[in-house]
Amino acid sequence: MASRHPPPDLHPQASPTEPPPAAHRHPGGAAPVLDSQSLLQGQGSVAILHHGVIYRLQATKLGKLILTK
């Protein structure tokens, strides 16, 4: 009988004192800075769910980012 494992936690709880590893504070402290490589995770594009709408973040061959609805 195969063992059943719970699905991976897609929304791990962040420590209240430490930002996630991919997040860095902008020097002005205005907004966290996320590394695009950590978002794309080796893929050409990722889907981002924002207020119930799915957006696509895509890296181009020239190294630019495109966000589309």
pTM here is: 0.56
pLDDT of residue 61: 94
Question: Of how many residues is the chain composed?
Answer: 69
pLDDT of residue 50: 96
The hierarchical CATH code for the domain 32-68 is 2.10.70.10
> Do the Cβ atoms of 66 and 57 come closer than 8 Å?
yes
The 3-state DSSP class for residue 38 equals helix
pLDDT of residue 1: 52
Work out the pLDDT band at 15, boundaries 50, 70, 90. Answer: very low
> Do the Cβ atoms of 56 and 43 come closer than 8 Å?
no
The 3-state DSSP class for residue 64 equals coil
Query: What are 39-46's contacts with CB under 8 Å, separation 24+?
Result: none
Identify residue 64 by its one-letter amino acid code: K
Where exactly are the structural domains of the chain?
32-68
Question: For 26-52, what is the mean pLDDT?
Answer: 89
